Amino acid sequence: MTQPLEGVTVLDMTHVLAGPFCTMTLGDLGATVIKVERPQTGDDTRAFPPFKDGKSAYFAAINHGKSSIALDLKSEEDRVIFEKLLTRADVLVENFRPGVMDRLGYGWDTLHKAFPHLIYGAVSGFGHTGPDAKRPAYDMVVQARGGVMSITGEKGRDPVRVGASIGDIVAGMFLAQGLLAALLDRTQTGKGRKVDVAMLDSQLAILEHAIALTTVTGQAPEPSGARHPSITPFETFHASDGLFVIAAGNDKLFEKLCITLNLPLWDDPRFATNAARCENARLLKRLIEAITLDDTRSSWIAKLTAAGIPTGPIQSVDQVLKDPQLIARNMIVDVLDKNGRVTYKAAGNPIKMTDAPDPTTRAPAPDLDGNRGEILRWLDEA
């Protein structure tokens, strides 16, 4: 049993979310991740609530299993250590504003000359090129500008933000993919590449259907609340004790649904085709909900599942953490503290692989500069 990225060393100069998420997923696949943090404060998220035993749960959840060394890259002594690390690392990842690494004397051109094997990954708000490269960005700025907010929310009301920070996270994921492609390429060429991922670009990349619709129809899609814009019924319904989804994607599933609900509508011209059901979606929702309100969510989900109709609850995060399927898949893991005690829960590794361990615990997130001694010893061994 080995993780696929064992032997890969990642020098992680990132902070907050997009970069640390990227290196966390590489770590979950077996890479050794060394966080290079600024002295005194380190990663900003060390100060983010909520805290447990004085430590940030947010930081712990995204930085478990990494080690940490604090380096002041304006001090000569620390630059020597940093350059030793560059010699040993396969990948350097940073999410500074474009230009910061150049000002430190560690821009891509310089690094590539001195360390030709090194792969350099950068994630930033708008990327390292283009008119807005130097602008600051946050998750919500790119969710808004990139279009996803314009299609999220209720029709006729202001758009809403996606509750998960997909502006950061999707960019971190594309960066991880680019870094792995570069590592694979390096096995042939021996040479590193620079990978430059923008949060804004990444938002565009996940819009697919909306782009096709807009370019063919000339009309930008609008938010459609909790229903699919062009399939009916494919939306949320109230049961007596909570919300759940029914996704009856075609006429056959609709007929099965009608039979299960004892609601003989499949021959009714107002509902016989998907086009007709879309026309009369509000009426259909009321007719279905008049029935679903009479029983519990779990009862309806059991009946619909038995009939082969895609369905599921809308779960709050506390419910998600108790979901038997997610528990069976090792998707809820315990982050330990230095004494091996369980402290926080975090998401497991969604990439399940044969012959790779899939542990349900994670080593703690590092204290700031907490691994300096062992890292320096490791450098001296070389």
Active site residue ranges: 228
DSSP 204: H
- Helical (H) or strand (E) element with 20: helix 18-28
Which residue from 333, 358, 351 is spatially nearest to 177, judged by alpha carbons? Answer: 351
Query: In the complex, what is the shortest distance from the CB of residue 377 to a second copy, in angstroms, rounded to a whole number?
Result: 26
Kindly tell me which of 69 and 167 has the beta carbon lying closer to a second copy. Answer: 167
Among 1, 40, 76, 131, binds a second copy (CB under 8 A): 131
Kindly tell me which of 347 and 379 has the beta carbon lying closer to a second copy. Answer: 347
Kindly tell me which of 131 and 340 has the beta carbon lying closer to a second copy. Answer: 131
Kindly tell me which of 147 and 370 has the beta carbon lying closer to a second copy. Answer: 147
Q: Residue type for 106, please?
A: Y
- The answer to whether 53 and 360 are in contact (CB under 8 A) is no
Among 312, 367, 372, 379, binds a second copy (CB under 8 A): 312
| One character per residue 173-212, x = contact with a second copy (rule: CB under 8 A) | xxxxxx-xxxxxx-xx----xxxxxx-xxx-xxxxxxxxx
- Contacts of 367 by beta carbon, 8 Å cutoff, 6+ apart: 68
| One character per residue 43-62, x = contact with a second copy (rule: CB under 8 A) | ------xxxx----xx-xxx
Cα dist from 217 to 211, 212, 213, whole Å: 10, 8, 6
Query: In the complex, what is the shortest distance from the CB of residue 313 to a second copy, in angstroms, rounded to a whole number?
Result: 6
Kindly tell me which of 164 and 283 has the beta carbon lying closer to a second copy. Answer: 164
Q: What is the 3-state secondary structure (H, E, C) of 305-342?
A: HHCCCCEEECCCHHHHCCCHHHHHCCCEEEEECCCCCE
Kindly tell me which of 151 and 272 has the beta carbon lying closer to a second copy. Answer: 151
Positions in 321-380 near a second copy (CB under 8 A): 321, 323-326, 328-329, 331-332, 344-356
- Show the tokens assigned to 127: 């990327």
Where does this chain touch a second copy (CB under 8 A) — which range of 120-128, 265-273, 279-287, 372-380?
A: 120-128
Kindly tell me which of 9 and 150 has the beta carbon lying closer to a second copy. Answer: 150
Q: Can you tell me the distance from the alpha carbon of 231 to that of 275, in angstroms, rounded to the nearest whole number?
A: 8
Where does this chain touch a second copy (CB under 8 A) — which range of 213-221, 265-273, 283-291, 362-370?
A: 213-221
Total number of residues that touch a second copy (CB under 8 A): 149
Among 40, 54, 74, 163, binds a second copy (CB under 8 A): 163
Q: Kindly state whether residue 115 participates in binding a second copy, applying the rule CB under 8 A.
A: no
Q: Kindly state whether residue 154 participates in binding a second copy, applying the rule CB under 8 A.
A: yes
Residue linked to tokens 């021996």? 190
Positions in 219-238 near a second copy (CB under 8 A): 219-221, 223-228, 230, 234-236
Among 19, 42, 98, 147, binds a second copy (CB under 8 A): 147
Kindly tell me which of 79 and 97 has the beta carbon lying closer to a second copy. Answer: 97
Among 40, 74, 76, 217, binds a second copy (CB under 8 A): 217
- The answer to whether 232 and 224 are in contact (CB under 8 A) is no
| One character per residue 5-24, x = contact with a second copy (rule: CB under 8 A) | x-xx--------x---x---
Antiparallel, parallel or unpaired: β 55-56 and 51-52: antiparallel
- The answer to whether 234 and 210 are in contact (CB under 8 A) is no
Q: Is the dihedral of CA 160, 161, 164, 167 positive or negative?
A: positive
Task: Enumerate the β-bridge partners of residue 103.
Answer: none
Radius of gyration of the chain (CA): 25
Among 82, 106, 244, 254, binds a second copy (CB under 8 A): 244
Q: Residue 113: count other Cβ atoms within 10 Å of its Cβ.
A: 8
Q: Kindly state whether residue 137 participates in binding a second copy, applying the rule CB under 8 A.
A: yes
Positions in 248-277 near a second copy (CB under 8 A): 249
Q: Can you tell me the distance from the alpha carbon of 6 to that of 11, in angstroms, rounded to the nearest whole number?
A: 15
Where does this chain touch a second copy (CB under 8 A) — which range of 284-292, 307-315, 359-367, 374-382?
A: 307-315
Q: Can you tell me the distance from the alpha carbon of 153 to that of 149, in angstroms, rounded to the nearest whole number?
A: 8
Q: Can you tell me the distance from the alpha carbon of 71 to that of 39, in angstroms, rounded to the nearest whole number?
A: 6
Which stretches of 148-263 are assigned E, i.e. beta strand? 194-198, 234-239, 242-247
